[in-house]
Structure 1
């Protein structure tokens, strides 16, 4: 990674290099031999205190003794970038598979493994501020890939910096500020299946204030029948430098998403007629429509050797969701956070202490009606679902000797879930439960040399149920569901040599009471706790330039760049009374993303890529039914005519492979089980970007 700095004017602008197609290893330094990111800064304004640059984010995250990544926007900017899959496709350990429209299934290290809706088991943040609903669930369709500067990925127990306590860890989406955004930035993308997107943004800084605003409109007909939709998103932030050592920043996000749902089908239908929607989805006009407003503030204050951050947020979201019933939900969530980091000397050794507290809660107005072909019918059930969460945490890094740091941490979590039934009928679903977790962590970080790190850690996590673990259809109450626990062991390394980067982690998690979601058909599901399960795997990413100077020599030659991300997942029961040591369903055992790119210093790049799942995976606990192996071939190319004008072409699934992208799961499946989500066929996208 190389950085150049200039300050000729009042405005600051970040101009990323032609292409970055690999998640920047957490370890990456300014000596990076293969140009992943170049930052040119102009203007007299100091960098933002509330929005760290990509370089500073990398410096901070590489102090963590665990599997973490910083992914700059250039990793997905020159693609169609419609979902999180486009953003994090080359981050090993992160499984994101498309479902329909802008929706995907997100899992890290098997988090929420059997859940194919309303993600759980991962904490989402924007600029370090929580995004999940108060009960822990999340709808990440609200995220706009074109509106972020970089993404931080904290896998497993490595997200204690933000107080996260989920099996899958945390993902933090960081927006640009007026200090690193172009004054005018616009892109127009078009593609297969009626895909069209227009996105505009602007940022500027003047004196003690700066601002950034982004707005986008996306519409698509969809590959499958009844899978069209459109989304309108706007976001912005306003920063005010109160003094040389203090800054406050306000954030506003507004989202309006209208989406049809084609639904899961049988394996035969998915592989022979993938465009056809499920009959029930057509008959009842399944949809997921969301409108949300999110307001947040974050303030950073620097003292002599302490950096303090504090702030709060409020979210209102309306979900209108005709499925097997007509769901009409209103979410109201509020929260506050504070954390401080102290870098000092302890007993003559370097020491960094971070401690903080999070408090957030919310109430969900839950109404379910008869679905009359997409219209609201008679009221069937209703409740107010209340969630409260308070987390205190501390993490300390002590330099035992030069290059060797001992990291210890602890987290105390208290969560309350309460349901108040508000419909007078024969079934009372009211209930209340409290959950308390004490989660310790210990790890070692060894700086082998300036360009190589080795790490290991042991961590504990605990997760209270979300309200999606409580199903009216099955009569499950809060007290029927136990909290999920996990103990995770991890070891890994990351680093670089000339023309070569690597990122490797091996982990093993022992889970108790893992949440399992069983599809009952017709939109109904049942949730149970498994007994003991094991999640273990290997996460490996490699970047390599095997050939340089093909047509251009000198200090910045052209090159061939190989980028690979491989995830091995071994998820299984551990001596279960019913399922023995069967595989847990819902995730591929092997998943590979790789590409070979020719990169020219004159702004041109081109090359093929592949997504490969070489082995089918099971869709039921009985291990009686599975998916199919597949390989998808793609190709992309682009050209930066100047720093102001660039375009790209992104072709996917060139062989028009019929494949299964993701699944729901069942206890026992049959040939008629509608558990399968067909993947998208051959598609081509093109985009034009103008910046100034």
Structure 2
């Protein structure tokens, strides 16, 4: 283990603090008091849509680092548009805004070579995949205002959901008519032409409930040529057929128009951060999406301790994407899953068995044209692409002691990728390939106390290439890429004692055939190819500590809480023939965020915050060019009134620091390489919400 990782491990291990247990006393001499009979009625929790508390309890059965982000951390703020805003205190998740609502997302170093959109993390909404069947995806169809909570299952900790990638799964769960009844009207405004509105309604009656949200977002963007507009609808309808059977139907619609300012040189990003790339202006780079998503989830409690879940979805997307070519793509994805959970005993010991299967089928009609100033010109490419990804998972958790569980699992998978070239004037670039894999898992969960857990696991993950990896824009033909294979060992702890909550994990992933960018011809045209051996290791630590209570006086019930998240990322080549042990480009070695929040029981809160990257990250395999180090300061405030009215405001980058938020990666970067995307300057957002 490298000295820097050892030191970071030692620092992060000092989180567990003892706290006295509460005690209760009962008067034995008081005379009995007659209490009138009271009838209490309430709705049973949803079988298909567990709330944040239920999700946190369920994820305690995972032998690795997982996080639940509740809606309160999202809705009580203004200007929350990207995954960086949603997941800022989920350590190990590197989510940096690029333009509009797009984000560079990497979890434990996943998808570092993916300069556009997403690979290596499975996005789900209400348990239904948002990614395409080949594993690719993006973030523009996510509406943070519709999240009841977000589940972060890093790496192999998504094993039980069928996740087979290095980064794991992000599951965005929407409210129901029972969990979020009533109506909400919300409006926000802020810097750089930011305007947002939402209307939401939740109702429940008898066996039925429904919830729906309609939102609009418009912004000019910090950078020139960064304006965007979107309209989104999300809704679900639930039917409690019997006490033990519930089904829920989902529908989502997105209409998004977004211009792209592009990447610039490091000097340009730091001297004139609002500028757009000249080529993006000339060709009017855009990314416009219209999508419809239909889904269903059904849960059946077959018997005590036996639950069967099943679901299916269909997503149709239309993408118009003028870049250096004009991309026109129509996609259809069908997904299905089934999961059987059996809670019982084995040999007199408590036991949980989970058997699950997932199915993903995708068909993509892709065309490329000459880009004439944002309009389609002459056809240059046409293909019909198909993808299939299926998994079968078996996982058993056996409590060999009342407080110690052993976990063992096996995941079998098959992935098919094919492209049929329909533009043959420049040759036939058709091809297909099939990947088959087996991912075992071993783990343990130790309930040290009722509020403290330790965990460890050894998990394998396999990541087949996406269609775009296999059919690169920079070359003709169908690539012969291997699937990326990772073996990850992880150990950590999570818990709560008194005013202290924490989650800490250390991990090391040994990877073969990582999908990285290389320049095989030496011409500067980078392609996705397999590296030999790479290592991803690091530490994820989150801490929330209530430092003081009753600051305003005895029984004032106000509080001061320090919340922190730290990630140490050591991602590198392992004896590569060309790059030796160089660091992999695309993620900082250290990322620290902190917030000091004062809360008053009258509903007022105030929270200064900081984001600190003490060292810039490399943007090329050769480690010749880096981003800059930075620290940015912010301030958040809000007031929840008793009549359902809430007001909130947020200031970001208050010192107007110039910094680089995100960067594309390459093999060897020249000093003037246009790879960098500046971070937002000083900005202020405010909003008002009325719930009734």
Is the contact made by 2:101 and 2:139 (CA closer than 8 Å) also made in structure 1?
no
Q: 1:511 to 1:392 in 2, by over 3 A?
A: same
> Residues 446-492 of structure 1, C-alpha deviation per residue, up to 9 Å, x if partnerless?
00011110000000001111012134433264442111000000000
Number of the residue aligned with 1:164: 163
Superimposed CA distance per residue, residues 68-125 of structure 1 (whole angstroms, 9 cap, x where no aligned partner): 0111011121222111111111000001000011111111000001212120101111
Name the counterpart of 1:45.
43
Query: Hey, what does 1:659 align to over in structure 2?
Result: 659
Report what 2:548 is aligned to. Answer: 547
Q: How many residues align?
A: 653
TM-score w.r.t. the length of structure 1 is 0.92
Equivalent residue, structure 2, for 1:11: none
Query: How many angstroms apart in 2 are the aligned matches of 1:281 and 1:522?
Result: 22
CA-CA distance at 1:180 after TM superposition: 1.1
3-state SS of 1:680 partner: coil
Measured in 2, the distance between the counterparts of 1:147 and 1:523 equals 42
Distance 1:569 1:465, change over 3 A: same
Greater alpha carbon shift after TM alignment, 545-554 vs 233-242: 545-554
Contact kept? 1:212, 1:237, Cα under 8 Å: yes
Are 1:280 and 1:522, in contact at CA under 8 Å, matched by a contact in 2?
A: no
Which residue of structure 1 aligns with residue 539 of structure 2?
A: 538
Name the counterpart of 2:646.
Answer: 646
Say if 2:354 is the partner of 1:354: yes
1:186-335 equivalences under 5 Å are 186-304=185-303, 305-335=305-335
Q: Does 1:604 align with 2:571?
A: no
Partner-residue secondary structure (3-state), 2:307: strand
The 3-state SS of whatever aligns with 1:76 is helix
Q: Does the C-alpha gap of structure 1 residues 376 and 303 become closer, same or farther in structure 2, counting only changes over 3 Å? A: same
**Structure 1 residue 427 displacement after superposition:** 2.2
Among candidates 49, 54, 62, match of residue 52 of structure 2: 54
Report if aligned partners of 1:133, 1:333 keep a CA contact under 8 Å in 2: yes
**Are the equivalent residues in 2 in contact too, given 1:518–1:665 (CA < 8 A)?**
no
1:276-331 deviation line (CA, Å, top 9, x unaligned): 00000000000000000000001000021211101211000001000010000001
User: What secondary structure sits across from 1:159 in the alignment?
Assistant: helix
Partner SS, residue 594 of structure 2: strand
Contact 2:128 2:335 in 1 (8 A): no
CA distance in 2, matches of 1:522, 1:661: 28
Offset at residue 517 of structure 1 (A): 3.2
1:20-39 equivalence runs, <5 A: none
What is the DSSP-based 3-state SS (H/G/I as helix, E as strand, rest coil) of the residue aligned with 1:453?
Answer: strand
Structure 1 equivalent of residue 30 of structure 2: none
Q: Distance in 1 between matches of 2:612 and 2:522?
A: 29
Cα distance in structure 2, aligned partners of 1:400 and 1:478: 50
Q: Which has the higher mean CA deviation after the structures are superposed, 240-249 or 51-60?
A: 51-60
Judged with a 3 Å threshold, the aligned counterparts in structure 2 of structure 1 residues 523 and 499 are, in CA distance, closer, same or farther, namely farther
Aligned to 1:131: 130
Question: What residue number does 1:38 align with?
Answer: none
- The alignment partner of 2:55 has SS state of helix
Counterpart of 2:5 in structure 1 is none
Unmatched 5+ residue regions in structure 1? 1-24, 26-30, 33-41
Would the aligned equivalents of 1:299 and 1:309 in 2 still touch at CA under 8 Å?
A: yes
CA RMSD in angstroms comes to 1.8
SS of equivalent to 1:488: strand
1:526 corresponds to 2:551: no
Equivalent residues of 1:45, 1:205 under 8 A apart: no
Aligned partner of 2:177 in structure 1 is 178
- In structure 1, how many angstroms separate the alpha carbons of the residues matched to 2:547 and 2:481? 53
Point out the more displaced range, 438-447 or 43-52.
43-52
TM-score (norm. length: structure 2)? 0.92
Deviations 1:577-611 (A, max 9, x none): 00000100110000011011111111111021000
Structure 2 gap ranges (5+): 1-14, 16-20, 23-39
1:12-161 superposed matches below 5 A: 44-79=42-77, 80-161=79-160
Residue 430 (str. 1) matches residue 453 (str. 2): no
Change (3 A) 1:210 1:43: farther
Q: 1:552 to 1:521 in 2, by over 3 A?
A: farther
CA–CA distance in structure 2, aligned partners of residues 179 and 329 of structure 1: 38
* Shift in alpha-carbon separation, 1:372–1:43, aligned structure 2, 3 A: farther
1:44, distance to aligned residue in structure 2 (A): 3.5
Distance 1:642 1:191 in 2: 26
**SS of match in other structure, 1:140:** coil
Which secondary structure does the structure 2 equivalent of 1:172 belong to?
strand
* Structure 1 equivalent of residue 508 of structure 2: 508
Partner of 2:409: 409
**Partner of 2:394 in structure 1?**
394
Q: Give the distance between the partners of 1:504 and 1:476, measured in 2 at CA.
A: 45
Quick one: distance in 2 between partners of 1:255 and 1:517?
32
Q: SS of the counterpart of 1:142?
A: coil
Assess, with a 3 A threshold, how the Cα gap between structure 1 residues 682 and 522 changes in structure 2: closer, same or farther.
farther
CA distance in 2, matches of 1:120, 1:593: 25
C-alpha displacement of 1:369: 0.3
Conserved? CA contact 2:624–2:668, under 8 Å: yes
Q: Which deviates more, 198-207 or 418-427? A: 418-427
8 Å CA contact 1:123–1:132 kept in 2: the answer is yes
